[in-house]
Chains A and B, each alone.
Chain A
Amino acid sequence: MSAADAPPAGGRLQALRGRIEQIDRELIGLIAERVRIAREVGAAKRELGAPTLDPAREAMVVRRAGELAREAGVGDEDVRYIFWHLIGLSRRAQMEGD
C-alpha cells in the first residue's frame, strides 16, 4: 500500500512519526550545541582559574529543568533524569583539556 492510498489513521501515524523523527534530529543538534558551549565554558573557567566541577550549579540546572518540565506538563522526574545525563556529557566536554 502506498502512502497516497493509506487509510486516514495510517497516514496520520506516518505523519506523526515523521514529525518525531524531525524533533529527534533537532534534539540531537541541540545536545551537540550544548556540548560545544560546555567546552567553551570549560576553557573560560580555566582562564579564570575556576574549578571545572561545580556541583552547586549542576543542582541548580537540574532544579530549573524540573520546574520547567512541570510548567510544560511533562514528568519532572524523567526530565531530571535526562538532565543529569546531559550534565554528565557537558561535564566531560568541559574537562577536555583539563
Chain B
Amino acid sequence: MIIITRPHVTDAEIDHIRERIEMLGLRTHLSRGEARTVIGCLGDEALLQEAALLSLPGVESVTPVMKPYKLAWREFAAGPTVVRVGDRGATSIGGRALAVIAGPCSVEGREMLRQTAVAVRDAGAGLLRGGAFKPRSSPYAFQGLGEAALRMLAEVRAETGLPVVTEVMDTRQVDKVAEHADVLQVGARNMQNFSLLSELGRVQRPVLLKRGLSATIQELLMAAEYIMAHGNRDVILCERGIRTYETATRNTLDVAAIPVLKAETHLPVLVDPSHAGGRASLVAPLSFAALAAGADGLVVEVHPDPAHALSDGDQSLTFSAFEQLMHGLRPFAAAAGRELAAPVSSLREAA
C-alpha cells in the first residue's frame, strides 16, 4: 500500500498517518519529493482495511501495491533515487550526469591500478572499479589479490580522488570490504545469495547489484528488495548480459531490460558492456545501445595491457580505446538528455 499525501501536508499529519499504520504492526517508509510525499507500508496489508486511511487528514490517495517488490517499486519513492558516493558525496549515480565506472577486472598490482585509474579519470570516468576477490568459473583461475588489493584500491583512491567499486563475495568479507570501498559490488553469480544480500542491507555503503546470468528482471528486483528490506536503500542495478543459446557473444545484453527496469523501479540502472559482449570490439556499440535505451551509466573493463591481463583480457579496453569510447558516447548522451563528464585533456585545451 502506498499513501500519497496532499500538498503542504504537515509533519504532525505525516506522524499521525504513520502511527495509525504502525500500530497495526506494519512499518512505514517515507519518501519526500518536490511534488509529492509518499508513505509506503510494509507488512500485512490486509490489516490496513480497518485503518480508514483515506479519512485521515493529509491523505490524498491510497493505492495497493500489486508487485512482489515494494521498496524497489518506482511508485514507492517520490522520485528517482540518486546514490551519492565518495568524499562529501560528490559523485552521483542515477542523476542527470551519467556514471562511468572503469578499471581492471582484477587488481593485479599497485602500479597497473594507479596507471589505469589516472587514464580512466583523465578520459572522464567518475569511479574506479577493480576486483580484489574474484569469483572465477574455474577454481584454478586467478582468484584475486584479496586484502592487499583492497589496500591498493584505497591508496589509489586517495591519490586520484576516484571513489572505488569492488566486489564482495562472502558475508565474512563485508566489513573488511566496506572499510576500503565506496561501493560494494554483488557479482552476477551471487545475485541470489540471500545471506550476503541481508548482510549488505546492514552496512551503510551503496551496493552495485549485478543481474544473475539466468535471472529474470523480477528476480533482480527481488534481490534488490532483500538489501533494501534490511535497511540499505542505496542499491544500484546492473544489467550485464544474460545466458542465451547464442555463442558468438559471451552473454546477450538484454537491452530491453533497461527501459523495463526504469519503468518498474526508482533505482539507478547501469550496464556492463564488457561482460555482456565478452569482446573489446563489442564494448562501444553495446555502450551506445545502453545509453540510447536510458541507462544511467556504464561499468567498463580497462587494462593497461589487455593481452597480458590475468583475467578477462579479451573484453578489456586499452587506455586509448577507452578514451575513444568516451568520445563516442557524447552524441548518445546528448540525445538521451544526459551529461557526460568532460575528459581532462579537453578541460586543459579549454583553459
Chain A: residues with CB nearer than 8 A to chain B? 55-56, 58-60, 62-63, 66-67, 70, 76-77, 81, 84
Contacts and interface: CB of A to CB of B under 8 A. Distances in A.
Contacts of A70: 11
Nearest to A53: B25
Interface string B6-32: 000001000110111111110100100
B79 interface: no
Contact of A60 (B11, B21, B23, B27): B23
A59 B25 CA distance: 8
Contacts of A63: 15-16, 18-19, 22
Nearest to A62: B22
B231 interface: yes
A59 B30 contact: no
A67 B25 contact: no
Nearest to B20: A59
Contacts of B11: 67, 70, 76
A66 B23 contact: no
Interface centre among A60, A63, A84, by most chain B C-beta atoms within 10 angstroms, is A63
16 contacts: A55-B23, A55-B25, A56-B23, A58-B23, A59-B18, A59-B20, A60-B23, A62-B22, A63-B15, A63-B16, A63-B22, A66-B15, A70-B11, A77-B30, A81-B231, A84-B27
Contact-size category for B: 10 to 19
A71 to B, nearest CB: 11
A59 B231 contact: no
Nearest to B29: A77
B44 to A, nearest CB: 12
Main SS of chain B's interface residues? helix
B231 A60 contact: no
Main SS of chain A's interface residues? helix
A56 B23 CA distance: 4
Contact of A55 (B18, B24, B231): B24
Contacts of B27: 84
B11 to A, nearest CB: 6
Nearest to B27: A84
A86 to B, nearest CB: 14
A64 to B, nearest CB: 9
A70 to B, nearest CB: 6
B91 to A, nearest CB: 22
Contacts of B19: 59-60, 62-63
Contacts of A62: 19, 22
Nearest to B31: A77
Interface in B181-206: none
Contact of B23 (A59, A76, A77, A81): A59
The 6 closest A-B pairs by CB, nearest first: A59-B22, A59-B23, A56-B23, A55-B25, A63-B19, A59-B19
A58 B22 contact: yes
A67 B15 contact: yes
A62 B22 CA distance: 9
A63 B27 CA distance: 12
Contact of B22 (A55, A67, A76, A81): A55
